[in-house]
Chain A
Amino acid sequence: MSELREIDARGPRWSAGLTAIVLSVALVTKSPVVIAVQLVQFGFGAFATPPKSPYGILYRKLVQPRLPKTFESEDIRPPQFAQGVGFVFALLATIGALSHTWPLFTVATAFALFAALLNSVFGYCLGCKVYLLGVRLRHR
């Protein structure tokens, strides 16, 4: 929905923390189901919006009511972009798990875990680092 442009900035940080836990479980169990759960989360976050993703809904129902009412808001586009990057890695990891290509699964999941940790601990802005370079490469 295009009218929703500003969201509670704590939501994506919390979701990234949950993502890091789910990805760690995926690495330990090598379970296609666990990595597929994360793939679905990234899919909703990227192609719907972060607040409409499963973790976004969990945040609003369970976490936000327990936090202070005043909060920093942020533009929805940076976290949505980051979910899109996550989707690509989770897709590769899911393909790796389903086809038993374990190096692909492990590397893709480890990269996604690295990005999720940076996001949850530091509020790292992935779009700031990679988006402009991507545009520069596409329009040579």
Chain B
Amino acid sequence: MVTSSLIIGVIIAALVFGAIERSRAGRIKNISKGKHVIDASDIGTELGLVATILQFSSAFCAPCRITRGTLSSVVTSFSGIKHVEIDAEKNLELVRKLDIRQTPTTLFLNSAGQEIARAVGAPKRDQVISALELISHE
């Protein structure tokens, strides 16, 4: 009796937790301007002319691949926007500086390298576009 209530409890907890996690994944969060500023030397390549989408990935991460596909497809439809993917494990100093806790985490930077927004988990195409609009309207 106790065991079956434990199993049912675990099932309910997993369903609730999983549903919450799924709804939160990829949500765009505004970041106060100037909190994090990134330059070309941080990421080993020049920033995009209008915006840079900085994706942190790791090896044990299936959604990182989905995110890579979404971002590279969005980038081709806009000019001046660059997608840069960084291996989080190999850039721990930057990971700590930017407080990256899980992968994929995607940062949206303006032309000056200031972080304007970020998405934790795989963002959908329209979420990426809304984050880019934040940059174009700032």
- B-contacting residues of A (Cβ < 8 Å)? 9, 24, 27-28, 74-75, 77-78, 80-82, 106, 110, 113-114, 117-118, 121-125, 127-129, 131-133, 135-136, 139
Contacts and interface: CB of A to CB of B under 8 A. Distances in A.
> Secondary structure of the B side of the interface?
helix
A106 B64 contact: no
The 4 closest A-B pairs by CB, nearest first: A127-B60, A117-B14, A81-B60, A122-B18
A118 B19 CA distance: 9
A27 B22 CA distance: 28
A128 B92 contact: no
Given A27-B6, A28-B3, A118-B17, A128 B11 contact: no
Contacts of A24: 7
Nearest to A122: B18
Nearest to A115: B14
Interface residues of B, number: 33
A50 to B, nearest CB: 12
B58 interface: yes
Interface string B6-30: 1100110111011101100000000
Interface string B82-100: 0000001100100110001
A36 B96 CA distance: 39
30 contacts: A24-B7, A27-B3, A27-B7, A28-B7, A74-B65, A82-B60, A110-B10, A114-B10, A114-B14, A114-B17, A117-B10, A117-B14, A117-B18, A118-B14, A122-B18, A123-B62, A125-B62, A125-B63, A127-B59, A127-B62, A128-B102, A128-B104, A131-B58, A131-B61, A132-B58, A132-B101, A132-B103, A133-B101, A136-B92, A136-B95
Interface of B: 3-4, 6-7, 10-11, 13-15, 17-19, 21-22, 58-65, 88-89, 92, 95-96, 100-104, 121
User: Max chain A CB contacts within 10 Å: which of B3, B11, B61?
Assistant: B61
Contacts of A113: 7, 10, 14
Given A124-B21, A125-B62, A136-B92, A106 B6 contact: yes
A30 B3 CA distance: 10
Contacts of B92: 135-136, 139
Given A122-B21, A125-B61, A127-B60, A133 B102 contact: yes
Contacts of B13: 114
Contacts of A139: 92
Nearest to B62: A78
